[in-house]
A and B are shown apart, each in its own frame.
Chain A
Amino acid sequence: MLYAEEMMAILKYLLAMIIAINALFLVLVFSRRIWRGRYFRIYDAARRRYSPTVDAFAWDKLPFASAREILCQADCRPAQDAVHKLLLEALDDSNRSRISELLLSLGYVRRWAVAAFGEQRAVHILESSAKKIPPSAPPAKNPVLALALRLRFLAVGRAIAVFKLGQLAPDFAFFFAQEALRDPSFQVRSLAIVAIGRSRHPAGVALLVGELHGAVAANNEMSPRYIKAALLHYQMADLALFQPFLSHCQPRVRFFLVDAIREICDRAASRAPLHLVDFPLRFSRTFLEDLVRDTFADVRARSACVVKHFQIPQATAALGSLLRDPNEYVRMFACRSVRQDSYASLIPDLLPRLADVSWRVREDAVNSLVAFGPRGMRALYTYFESCTDLLACEQVAEAIQRFGLVPELLAMFSSGAEDAVLAEAVCRQMALLGMTSSFQSVLAPGVPAHVRSRLRELLAEAPRQRLHLSPREKFEFLPFPTPNNVWNTPAITYAVARGD
């Protein structure tokens, strides 16, 4: 053991060190507060000062030279950050090039390029971009340097610079992002991918597909979903750019591409319905003839969601065939895709999906039928009242409750018309399944007495025990048990004990 004196000396030394570190941390905490306060004072003042200039320039009411002269006066970092932020806020498709040129002429672009690629390389890239010629390939990096550049503390500055460069006009941004894709750091490359997506540059799709291929093959550190997110920046007008890659040899690349196209289409369709004319001819043909028959199930599944926007008889036929696909996810996406009036003719094809082996398909089939409105509901009720498949019955009964259709059913029941018979049969079926809680809660005084009395009779028929069985019990309960997962069992027919 150490002698007490030595121990004391060590402890004193340690204490002094700890006090010094504490003091340093305290200084850092308060200096940061003070620095932030000062930064934002200048920043806010700069925003107030330069906002009219930026607005006028953005609206093309101030000449380039005048704007440059005024904004050049922002000579410290907070003021320059404020100008940068103001210019970004004013950015739209009409002024993107002008604002990018202004940022270039103010020296901001050069500063970011130097931070991202180093002085020498930045100068070369800027010169190349000014001449509109591609820059020469960079010299190979020393492996040790490349390894060091991967370190986070060296990469963050470059990543932020690449991000800022990525906000410029597409031609500028793409130039820099392409260069940044060669960076050894994952963070820098990630932001380059974002920048390529945001630029919507025509050559960007090929680069992103190349990265996607690398990600799928685990050759780079990228996440395929991240690259897909970058592809989502492209729009309907850009769909033809995807055409050459729809027959990519790697099925997962095809899948991510089709999935990205699906989301682009869905986003556009949320603004205005799409039709075949909104798609390039060759593109729609590829989907209808090849991709809906792709060997990779996930591609077929996502193709259904694109094909639905075509709204032509061939699309109806393709979706009808996908509804019968051997893969459950394809059937599920097909069920989701037919959820629009133009595919009402597929209602009869949807009905068998109510008894599908997969609960996901059953759920989406029910949701689609409900979405078809009265026509779909009638088909659903008709199917339900004569259904002998327990799993299908459960699914339909759940939808009736969750979509709040019980009051509507009771109204049908009260009407006394032809529909009343169907409504009564549906109510009885639900009672037999033990799914009666929602009836009890809506049996308000407004319901006619004869209906209330008939419903009471039906409720009396309800089994005491509900059908929430564990898989094991379910196997024992059903006539054709299978030893595997209940989700994947073949549709098991259960003869519901009917009252009549």
Chain B
Amino acid sequence: MHNVFLQWIEYLNQVILLYFVGINLVYTVLMCLALYAVTFHSRLAAGTASVEPASLAVRPPVALIVPAFNEESGIVQTVLSLMQLNYPEKEIIVVDDGSTDHTVEQLVQHFQLAPMELIYRESLPAKPPCAFYASPRHPGLVVLSKENGGKADALNAGLNMARSPYFCMVDADTIIDPDGLLRLMAPIVESQVHTVVSAGIVRVANGSLIQNGRVVQPRLPKSWLERCQVVEYIRTFLFGRPAWNLLNSTFICSGAFCLMHRETVVQAGGFGTDTVTEDTEMIAKLHRHMLDKGWKYRMVFTPAPVCWTEVPHTVSMLAKQRRRWQLGLLQTVGKHDRMIANPRYRHMGLFTVPFHAFLEGTGAFIEAIGTLLVPVSFALGIIPLSMFLLFLALAVGYGTMLSVASILLHERTQHRYSSLRDVFTLILFAFIENLGYRQMVALFRAQGVLQYFFGQKRWEAVVHVGHGRAVSAA
């Protein structure tokens, strides 16, 4: 019996090893692609940045849709940052998704809004609005209040209200760079092919100095958890996303700030309310819609910073967030499983979706088992000490390599953290995050996988502190 058990563990170890070899090979390829893409993009941008690119002389109108549920702590700052955006034709639509706090009151008071009855046409299904607020002082701002239906429902309601050909979904806890919208619009204007999605780099706002809805001085946060997330965000946005973009296989775009073509989204059926990550699901839906129709299209990711977001401050909030992301990813690939290994969907069906379904999605479970099993194998004597230590060193070394490569890209492109001390801290945390943080996140992601197969499949609320304000539920 004991032998059978040990043999099973050995088999499992081999599966885990294969998984690690497979995923790390893909990551290595992605890292090389990202180093190539980001380096030359930043070199070109730096070499031609002394004047505004001519393409930005053409600026189609954009609707900024802000779904807000109990966001009283940060909603005014967010709207202020949207109003200060360097973009001529924009409409700001805040969709209050049945908040139980003072989200609407804060907006009404600060922007001197008045209740009005405005025209609302339902081109996408959404819970009916119960009130509209606007003001002649701020003609571009509308607040739409509706009963709670989730973020996707709120986005659909916002889309029904929007009049512009493009829209941007903006998280209520997001602060947008003044030129963020121009940066997202530039590749759309410059492209000959119909560009349905344009996204950019999301940065961590925690710890930074924020005034009047603007990040005036980027700083690193104080707590280890937030610092690990800073490194993680840099890694995700500087090596994962640009590499996928180079392969024209963007599958995940942050819902924090992302520009989309309104008509295409409406044609694709709007945001689905049956997943907990409506942004990822929308990207998959758009790929599928465009490929089904046989239309030429493009989704672009620009390695330029466009916005700042607040990351979880506590382990429990981080756990909720990561479980949701994992659950949402699996719900998305499950919903669009027809694309998997389907040559009709070309590179998306043959590579991107299977990668996200098996290696990023369910693979998270194998990663978590590996995190637990390797020490157990060592304890049971299946793996000798030398090999255990080598495995550990390899895992930490490889993880550090990916993070340090991202920090290098960050230094080449943005160098937003001006002090050398901050760079030292980032590198230190690129190493430290491999000693506990990553393993913890792997376990949260595994929980998400279990939730998908066995547990609850609904949104878990994450608490935001607000950008430099008191704690509130969100």
Contacts and interface: CB of A to CB of B under 8 A. Distances in A.
B58 A228 contact: yes
Given A153-B40, A160-B44, A197-B54, A15 B404 contact: no
Given A29-B423, A437-B115, A437-B117, A85 B50 contact: yes
Contact of A229 (B55, B136, B390): B55
A35 to B, nearest CB: 10
B48 A163 contact: yes
A15 B390 contact: yes
A363 B61 CA distance: 16
Contact of A401 (B54, B129, B134): B134
Interface in B70-124: 114-123
A223 B136 contact: no
A269 interface: no
B423 A33 contact: yes
Interface residues of A, number: 77
A7 interface: yes
B54 A230 contact: yes
B461 interface: no
Contacts of B123: 471
Contacts of B439: none
Interface string B364-402: 000000000000000000001011001101100110110
A190 B190 contact: yes
B336 to A, nearest CB: 27
A221 interface: yes
A76 interface: no
Contacts of A275: none
A33 B427 CA distance: 13
Interface in A190-211: 190-191, 193-194, 197-198
Nearest to A163: B48
A94 interface: no
Given A222-B192, A229-B57, A402-B118, A15 B427 contact: no
A441 interface: yes
A156 B47 CA distance: 9
B30 to A, nearest CB: 15
A296 interface: no
Classify the interface of chain A: helix, strand, loop or mixed: helix
Nearest to B246: A152
Nearest to A435: B117
A380 interface: no
A223 B411 contact: no
A233 interface: yes
Nearest to A160: B47
Given A8-B390, A229-B189, A471-B121, A15 B129 contact: no
A85 B50 CA distance: 8
A123 interface: no
B19 interface: no
Contacts of B54: 193-194, 197-198, 226, 229-230, 232-233
A207 B314 CA distance: 59
Interface residues of B, number: 60
B416 interface: no
Contact of A225 (B37, B47, B58, B415): B58
B427 A88 contact: no
Interface in A143-177: 152-153, 156, 159-160, 163-164, 167
Given A8-B390, A437-B117, A29 B411 contact: yes
Contacts of A29: 404, 407-408, 411, 423, 427
Nearest to B35: A25
A359 to B, nearest CB: 8
B444 to A, nearest CB: 26
A466 B116 CA distance: 11
B116 A401 contact: yes
A80 interface: no
B246 to A, nearest CB: 9
Contacts of A36: 415
A468 B123 CA distance: 13
A375 interface: no
B393 to A, nearest CB: 6
Contacts of A228: 58
A194 B192 contact: no
Contacts of A137: none
Nearest to A467: B117
A339 B131 CA distance: 31
A18 interface: yes
A160 B48 contact: yes
A11 B58 contact: no
A438 B114 contact: yes
Contacts of A442: 114
B297 interface: no
A189 B209 CA distance: 41
Interface string B275-300: 00000000000000000000000000
B116 A8 contact: no
A45 interface: no
A439 to B, nearest CB: 10
Given A437-B115, A468-B129, A486-B121, A11 B44 contact: no
Contacts of A359: 119, 121
Contacts of B404: 22, 25-26, 29
B191 interface: yes
Contacts of B114: 437-438, 441-442
A163 B54 CA distance: 11
B469 to A, nearest CB: 28
Interface stretch (A308-316, A390-398, A450-458): A390-398
B412 interface: yes
A401 B411 contact: no
The CB with the most chain A CB atoms within 10 A, among B40, B191, B394, B405, is that of B40
A420 interface: no
Contacts of B116: 398, 401-402, 435, 437-438
Contacts of B221: none
A14 interface: yes
A249 interface: no
A276 B50 CA distance: 37
A156 B43 contact: yes
Contact of A402 (B47, B134, B163, B408): B134
Nearest to B37: A152
A320 interface: no
Contacts of B384: 4
- With a 10 A CB-CB cut-off, give which of A197, A215, A228 has the most chain B CB atoms: A228
A18 B394 contact: yes
Interface in A387-441: 394-395, 397-398, 401-404, 433-438, 440-441
Given A160-B43, A436-B117, 20 more contacts: A7-B387, A15-B393, A15-B394, A18-B398, A22-B401, A25-B407, A25-B408, A29-B427, A159-B48, A160-B44, A223-B191, A223-B192, A229-B54, A402-B136, A404-B136, A438-B114, A441-B115, A442-B114, A471-B123, A486-B121
27 contacts: A8-B386, A12-B390, A18-B397, A18-B401, A21-B401, A22-B401, A25-B401, A25-B404, A29-B411, A33-B420, A88-B50, A160-B48, A163-B47, A193-B54, A198-B54, A221-B192, A224-B192, A225-B55, A229-B54, A363-B163, A401-B116, A401-B134, A402-B118, A435-B116, A438-B114, A440-B115, A441-B115
| 7 closest A-B pairs by CB | A404-B136, A160-B47, A437-B115, A435-B117, A18-B397, A401-B116, A229-B57
Interface of B: 14, 36-37, 40, 43-44, 47-48, 50-51, 53-58, 114-123, 128-129, 131, 134-137, 139, 163, 189-192, 384, 386-387, 390-391, 393-394, 397-398, 400-401, 404-405, 407-408, 411-412, 415, 420, 423, 427
Interface of A: 1, 4, 7-8, 11-12, 14-15, 18-19, 21-22, 25-26, 28-30, 32-33, 36, 85, 88, 152-153, 156, 159-160, 163-164, 167, 187, 190-191, 193-194, 197-198, 215, 218, 221-226, 228-230, 232-233, 263, 359, 363, 394-395, 397-398, 401-404, 433-438, 440-442, 466-468, 470-471, 486-487
